[in-house]
Amino acid sequence: MPEALVLDFGGVISRTLFETHALSEKALGLPPGTLDWQGPFAPETDPLWRRMQADEITERDYWRTRTAEVAALVGADWTQMSDFVCAARGAAPSEVIRPEALAAMDAAKAEGARLAVLSNELDLFYGADFRAKLPFLADFDVIVDATYSGILKPDPRAYAAVTEALALPPAACVFVDDQMRNIQGAEAAGLVPVHFDVRRPGDSFDRALDALGIRGRRS
């Protein structure tokens, strides 16, 4: 039976920037409806997202482009994604955390499961100050952030880093991510993969808890 719940951060623990356009527009002083790119929620209207999904550009490339676009709209001199995120979310980061994620973490902890984050860009995208404003992160046994390691999912070494830090075999770790390439990488590395559908977060966390064998005791 798996012993650890390993979560991606952006999209899984936090709501995506696509879901929080209204909050971003308010924080940045933009008229409602200004931010119209919808990523996975309307891929047919977001050619840049489709290019990312086709591996023509990286996820970091996608967000560099969006950061530059929004910076131009507000007249800001942003040089990295964290500048955008801090401006859009920095005042109230708890508002963008999924309540379903907090409930799933509580359920996993109650059953003795260990918690870990495996992110390609936690501090790169959000900034270290953002992490400090989220006290629930103290409940995590391990946080592996490629901002510092430079080893990005789906590189096998990324998954090895988190399983080694947990001192658990890969098969003892349920891994949850919203990007299919990272799920495929986790499966190849021997972890138990759960693809997170950002359009159905509750169902996705139910499947993760099922994989941990604890959903039946969740309530």
**Whole-number Å distance between alpha carbons of 159 and 48:** 28
Is the same domain home to 70 and 110? no
User: For 156-193, how does the pLDDT look when each residue is reduced to its tens digit (9 = 90+)?
Assistant: 999 999 999 999 999 999 999 999 999 999 999 999 99
E-only strand ranges, the chain: 4-7, 114-119, 142-145, 173-177, 192-195
- Number of structural domains the chain divides into: 2
* pLDDT tens digits, one per residue of 43-93: 999 999 999 999 999 988 999 999 999 999 999 999 888 899 989 986 678
The pTM (predicted TM-score) of the whole model is 0.90
77 and 175, same domain (yes or no): no
Domain that holds residue 64: 21-93
Q: Which of 29, 63, 93 is the last residue of a domain?
A: 93
User: Are residues 105 and 82 located together in one domain of the fold?
Assistant: no
